[in-house]
């Protein structure tokens, strides 16, 4: 999805508003797997800076952690309209999403056909099988649920 399309989808949203992102990407598979395995996720984000999320803000305020910084593989952070984007050292552009609300809904695809997670488990790496940390586990460390999504993997923002 292009920067302008994402910006237009979110231009009328106020800071703190929720939005939905649909992402579809190729799964990480073992060497030798020739089938195309994809993971589609529908998640809800909140339009705000990561540093403003309550567990992060409070941990910084209480000297339990440092202020958040850009990851080392990110060259710059920039805004288009009211939407923040990241540009990686490799030139790739990301939409940083503060995940909020519902648990992301996931659908797996094998060669373009929807399948259950169990059908793709023998082909995907352990990193694809891991359950994300809970909100509570992250809050204990002064963190909040967050992901940076490559624009080429975004199907829809609403």
Share of the chain above pLDDT 90, in %: 83
Residue 129 pLDDT > 90: no
pLDDT score, position 130: 82
Cα–Cα distance, 111 to 35 (Å, whole number): 6
- Would you say 33 and 122 are in contact if contact means Cβ atoms under 8 Å apart? no
Give the confidence band of 93 by pLDDT, cuts at 50, 70, 90.
Answer: very high
Mean pLDDT of 10-26: 94
Distances (CA, A) of 141 to 56, 68, 130, 134, 151: 8, 13, 19, 11, 29
* pTM of the full structure: 0.87
pLDDT band with cut points at 50, 70 and 90 for residue 102: confident
DSSP state of 34: -
Q: Which residue has the higher pLDDT, 101 or 152?
A: 152
pLDDT, the chain, mean: 93
Average pLDDT for 25-40 = 96
Q: What's the number of domains the chain is made of?
A: 1
Instruction: Say what the pLDDT of residue 17 is.
Output: 92
Q: Are strands 105-110 and 93-99 parallel, antiparallel or unpaired?
A: unpaired
Q: Does 101 score more than 90 pLDDT?
A: no
Domain range for residue 12? 3-157
């Amino acid at each position: 999805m292009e920067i302008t399309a994402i910006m237009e989808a979110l231009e009328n949203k106020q800071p703190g508003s929720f939005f939905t992102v649909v992402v579809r990407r190729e799964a990480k598979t073992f060497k030798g797997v020739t089938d195309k395995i994809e993971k589609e996720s529908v998640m809800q984000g909140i339009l705000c800076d990561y540093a403003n999320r309550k567990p992060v803000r409070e941990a910084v305020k209480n000297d339990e952690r440092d202020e958040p910084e850009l990851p080392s593989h990110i060259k710059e952070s920039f805004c288009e309209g009211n939407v923040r984007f990241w540009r990686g050292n490799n030139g790739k552009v990301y939409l940083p999403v503060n995940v909020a609300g519902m648990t992301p809904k996931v659908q797996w695809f094998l060669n373009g056909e929807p399948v259950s997670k169990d059908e793709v488990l023998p082909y995907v790496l352990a990193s694809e099988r891991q359950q994300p940390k809970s909100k509570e586990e992250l809050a204990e460390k002064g963190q909040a649920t967050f992901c940076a999504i490559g624009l080429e993997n975004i199907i829809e923002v609403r």
